[in-house]
Amino acid sequence: MAWRLDPRITQTLAKIVLWAFTGLTLLILIFIIVNISIKGLPQVTSAFLLQDPQDMGRHGGIFSTIVATIYLTLLAIALASPLGVGTAIYLTEYTREGWATRIIRFGAECLAGVPSIILGLFGFVLFVMKLGFGWSILSGSLTLAIMVLPIIIRTSEEAIKAVPQEYRQVCFSLGMSQWQTITRIVLPSALPGITTGIMLSVGRSLGETAVVLFTAGAALRTPASLFDSGRTMAVHFYILAREGLSMPNAYGTAAILMISILLINLVAYTLMQRLLRRYS
Amino acid sequence: MSRGKFVERVLFLLALSSVSSLVIITVFIFLEGLPLIFHTGLKDFILSSHWAPTKGFFGIGAMIVSSLLVTLVAMVIGVPLGLACAIVLAEFCSETMRRLLKPTLELLAGIPSVVYGFLGVIWLVPLIRDHLGGPGLSLLAAAVILGIMILPTVISISIDALTAVPDIYREGSIALGATQWQTVRRVVLPAASSGIITAVILGMGRAIGETMAVIMVAGNAIKLPASILDPVRTLTSNIALELGYAAGRHREALFATGIVLFVIIMILNLSATLITRRR
């Protein structure tokens, strides 16, 4: 008979290994956050936030990159939100499952899987070259909008689905039209979840580099119009780090970028959990 | 047309946005890249490793191999770690613990790829150079960073797959005298296997498509790697490194590189969708 370990011992061993791996993953996460915060946060002063970069970013602050980041992100979200929420409403309220929904869902899933460098290539050839927008806030935010569209669709759909069916039945029994039901009851109830999708998209846009570098460019001036190029914080950090221009400024930029994204994600996650718990 | 019908039409048009974006992206990438593939010939483009765009040599063989190798090693690192986290969260931990751990682990997804790349250069590259040899900027460094970057994808999809297994399965197994671990290994994991495979495939897609972190740590040398300590250039890095100054045939070659990447990713996505649907 083959020699076998007591199943209880195997179980203990398995648990030790699994928890060790989980612990390692947590350690990696903590290491990243602590390392960037400790080295980066001391650099973050009001001067760092409010001064423009000088000498290619070797000195000065990051004000113009903050402005460019905000412009790009806001415009991208403004473009993607109506499309994403509209798609989610159509998928949940207006159709039965069928070929149309399957194609739309499949399209959104595939779009979510398209790597950012491909989106960057696409934005570069269509918006920057063919349509002649050049490296600009407009080209950048159009491409970013396509990137975050699947995130908004998925979260909004989940949020709208979480609104109990009874709400809709009550509205119909009161004689409300479908559109009234959606705009007055369903959407307000699903709002925290839709906000989650939008916040996650903001987080994703803030951290994106490959798309922005090839569509919005890397000009250090504060963009004054939609057709001006702008350098986002993520791109600025990438250039500082890669060209070794200034380690302290790189750490400072990374700290602000990372902490704002993590906070946004955390709030988004809490909102969604609260929504799901309320209706389950 | 009634108001309701009108609203429905408008929403339908909005809903087509994701599909039409995907179609337009595909069309433009192929329109820009295909002329070069016809010019060089598909076989030479994919199989040759001679990349000298200014002299008219466009072979991305070495980059395809490098991309696949980096992804493979990244999976060897990321899948066990991610799967272990998923099993712990779904099977071996209390409700309060789960409520704390799950959002914490999801934070990994929010860290920008440039930050991963930066920390890779600062910490991992010197570590590899000093203890394992080679230049440090290497296939291994890229794979470790990617292994960490795919964790959120692997963890969240695996957890969904594990929690979708009905509790009756677990209860039946425990009632037969199996330990909790035997239950997980023999009953829960096989029942969740299609979901876990989907998690692995989508993780691969993320790894092979990642750009900025890889550029920073992989070393970017255009040759077939002889060991995991050699510097490599992946498909994505090739595009990002040269798009800034490429023109003419050279630019077309970068779009053609994009086509190859795009096709690989679409095959991965399609197989993930097919596996999920069969379940």
Predicted local distance difference test score (pLDDT) of residue A77: 97
Rounded to two decimals, the ipTM of the complex is 0.92
- Global pTM value: 0.93
Helix (H) or strand (E) holding B235: helix B235-242
Q: State the average pLDDT over residues A265-280.
A: 87
Which A residues, 38 through 77, put their C-beta within 8 Å of a C-beta on chain B?
none
CB A110 within 8 A of CB B266: yes
Predicted local distance difference test score (pLDDT) of residue B279: 57
Q: Is B112 on the interface with A (CB under 8 A)?
A: yes
To 10 degrees, what angle do helices B61-91 and B235-242 make? 120
Q: Provide the pairing of β-strand B51-52 with B57-58.
A: antiparallel
CB B218 within 8 A of CB B231: yes
Which of chain B's residues have a Cβ under 8 Å away from the Cβ of A119?
A: 25
Predicted local distance difference test score (pLDDT) of residue A1: 47
Q: How confident is the model at residue A12 (pLDDT cuts 50, 70, 90)?
A: very high
**B155-214 tens-digit pLDDT:** 999 999 999 999 999 999 999 999 999 999 999 999 999 999 999 999 999 999 999 999
pLDDT higher than 80, residue B66: yes
CB A240 within 8 A of CB A250: yes
pLDDT higher than 80, residue A83: yes
**C-alpha span between B23 and B236 (Å, rounded):** 21
Give me the residues paired with residue A54 across strands. Answer: A59
Average pLDDT over chain B reads 93
**A153-205 tens-digit pLDDT:** 999 999 999 999 999 999 999 999 889 999 999 999 999 999 999 999 999 99
pLDDT higher than 50, residue B12: yes
CB B263 within 8 A of CB B99: no
Predicted local distance difference test score (pLDDT) of residue B250: 94
pLDDT higher than 60, residue A69: yes
Of B7, B115, B179, the CB nearest to A254: B115
Which of chain A's residues have a Cβ under 8 Å away from the Cβ of B163?
A: none
**A51-65 tens-digit pLDDT:** 999 888 888 889 999
Of B12, B105, B265, the CB nearest to A90: B12
Predicted local distance difference test score (pLDDT) of residue A100: 86
Q: State the average pLDDT over residues B222-246.
A: 93
Which B residues, 160 through 219, put their C-beta within 8 Å of a C-beta on chain A?
178-182, 184-185, 202, 205, 208-212, 215-216
